Chain A
Amino acid sequence: GAGVSQSPRYKVAKRGQDVALRCDPISGHVSLFWYQQALGQGPEFLTYFQNEAQLDKSGLPSDRFFAERPEGSVSTLKIQRTQQEDSAVYLCASSLGFRGGPSYNEQFFGPGTRLTVL
């Protein structure tokens, strides 16, 4: 596609529910990133994929957060037993290059999914 797309754009969940957020990166982009952005803050790194391999998950705040990219394209961020502190915008970004390459850090962002946990 022309850009990174995310769905749903908005999600309201009751505390304790599980949610799944989808990211469709730009076709052919090797690298995929997930970020969490609280209101009025900059994005905070969650996890990184290179193709289907999850090479860095150091930013995931707890074991309730799980991400996958099984075929190296679409990615899903799953949050189990959601808590109110999980309320945020979840941004997905993709870049063309591999880690260490010149285009690795040229990230293109999706519009985000705004998650509200009641």
Chain B
Amino acid sequence: KNQVEQSPQSLIILEGKNCTLQCNYTVSPFSNLRWYKQDTGRGPVSLTIMTFSENTKSNGRYTATLDADTKQSSLHITASQLSDSASYICVVSAGSGGGADGLTFGKGTHLIIQP
């Protein structure tokens, strides 16, 4: 069964500090991996998408890494800001076909930035 596990479940850090969120997956065949940011009361918004051949991708202060061999991804947030407080969801696609269940969602990491 395809699974996506995220850690930690929740995280509290001080404003200005860096943090790294983890995503481990057992999805096959692998197509791509996305990180979403979900603010409270809002729908998820895509931050990055990575395919098999990509190791690192940045979007401003967000940097995602992918190790397709170990089936691990991380999302690193640099110089955190209060607006980074949100849930971060890792989503792995098992291919461009096969229906919507080709997407496997993690449960998310709930990040709180304290001033």
A binds B: yes
Residue pair B43, A100 in contact (C-beta under 8 Å): no
Residue pair A102, B43 in contact (C-beta under 8 Å): no
Q: Return chain B residues, CB-CB under 8 Å to A55.
A: 99
Chain B 87-112 interface mask (CB, 8 Å, partner A; 1/0): 00100010011111111011110100
Residue pair A111, B107 in contact (C-beta under 8 Å): no
If A4-B43, A101-B96, A102-B96 touch, does A42 touch B108 (CB 8 Å cutoff)?
A: yes
A44 close to chain B: CB less than 8 A:
yes
A65 close to chain B: CB less than 8 A:
no
Residue pair B43, A42 in contact (C-beta under 8 Å): no
Within 8 A of A (CB), among B64-104: 89, 93, 96-103
Residue pair A56, B101 in contact (C-beta under 8 Å): yes
Residue pair A109, B96 in contact (C-beta under 8 Å): no
Minimum Cβ distance to chain B for residue A2 (Å):
13
Residue pair B105, A44 in contact (C-beta under 8 Å): yes
A72 close to chain B: CB less than 8 A:
no
A8 close to chain B: CB less than 8 A:
no
Q: Return chain B residues, CB-CB under 8 Å to A109.
A: 36, 43-45
Closest to B91 in A: A42
Which residue of A43, A100, A110, A114 has the most chain B CB atoms within 10 A of its CB atom? A43
Q: Return chain A residues, CB-CB under 8 Å to B110.
A: 40
Q: Which A residues have a C-beta under 8 Å from some C-beta of B?
A: 4, 33, 40-45, 47-48, 55-56, 58-59, 91, 93, 99-102, 104-107, 109-112, 114
